[in-house]
Amino acid sequence: MMRLPLVSVSWTHSGPLVIPEDAFTTTLRVWDGEETALPQDGSHYGVVERGPVLLRCASGEFTLSAGMYFAVPGPAHLSGPGRGIVVTRPGYRCLFSIGGPCEEKGRLRYVDGCTDTLLLGPAKVGGPCLNLLHLPPRTDQIRHTHSSVRVGLIISGHGRCVGPGGAVPLEPGQIFIIPPHTEHSFFTEDEALRVIAYHPDTDTGPSDGDHPMINRTVVGGVSAARLQS
C-alpha cells in the first residue's frame, strides 16, 4: 500500500520527534500549555498557533501571540497557556529573530497561483528557512516533490493534500510532515489556505560572493563582488 502524502502529528504528542528519512536530523516538538525546554545544541524555529506564549532565551523574555514565529540559537524555554510547534536543526546556529503575526498573502509567486513569503531566511545560503504559503480559493496544484523534509502548520483555511496514497483533509491547527521526495499536491475549494512551512535547507540566499554589502561596494566603478578572486 502506498503511503499518504503527509503525516499528521497530534497536539497530544509528547517529547521530541526525530523525523525519519531526513538527512538533517530534523526534530519536531509540539507544546500545548506545558513548559518546554529547548536544548543547547542547534537552532530552533517556532510558530505560535495560540497565544500567549512566553519565550525565554539568552536574548531576553518575549511574549508571543498567535501567528508569531521565532528563530533561537541555543537553549530556550517556552511556557504559558498557548501552544505551537518548534523545529530544531542540530549543529546549526541561526540569527535570533522574532516576527509576525503572519500577513494574509505571500509576496513571492509560487506554483499555480499560490504565493509565498520568506518569513525567516538563511543568514547564508544552505541554512534553514521558514515560509508562509498562501493558496487562494480553487487552487488545483500540480503534483510535485521536495528534496528535503517539510514540517508545516495550517494557520487558517481548509483544503486537502493529495498523493499517490490518497488524500488528507487539512484544517486550522493541523501539524504535518511531508517526507523527502514524497509526491503531493494541495487543493482548496471556496476558501484560501495559509500554511507555515519549515525547510531544513536552502539553495538560495546570501553567500560570500553575493550579498548586499559586497554587491553595493563599488571599486573603480565596478562592484566589489566582481573583483573577488
Asked if 192 and 137 count as a contact pair (C-beta separation under 8 A), the reply is yes
Architecture in CATH for domain 11-99: Sandwich (2.60)
Every domain range in the chain assigned CATH 2.60.120.10: 11-99, 108-199
* pLDDT value for 166: 93
Report the predicted TM-score, pTM, of the whole model to 2 decimal places.
Answer: 0.94
Least confident of 34-43, 86-95, 215-224: 215-224
Read off the pLDDT band of 191 (50, 70, 90). Answer: very high
Contact 66, 194 (CB under 8 A): no
In the predicted model, what is the mean pLDDT of residues 145-170?
95
- Residue 141 has what pLDDT? 96
Q: Tell me the C-alpha distance between 172 and 143, whole Å.
A: 22
Cα angle at 184 between 181 and 185, to 5 degrees?
Answer: 145
The alpha carbon dihedral of 217, 220, 225, 229 has a sign of negative
Cβ neighbourhood burial of 96 (10 Å; 0-12, 13-18, 19+): middle
Q: What is each CA distance from 162 to 3, 32, 139, 177, in whole angstroms? A: 11, 28, 12, 14
Instruction: Count CA atoms closer than 13 A to 205's CA, side-chain side.
Output: 15
Q: Is the pLDDT of residue 93 over 90?
A: yes
| Length of the chain counted residue by residue | 229
Residue 74 predicted with pLDDT over 70: yes
Dist CA 151 CA 149 (whole Å): 7
Fold of 108-199: Jelly Rolls (2.60.120)
Taking residues 2-25, report their average pLDDT.
90
CB 117 within 8 A of CB 109: no
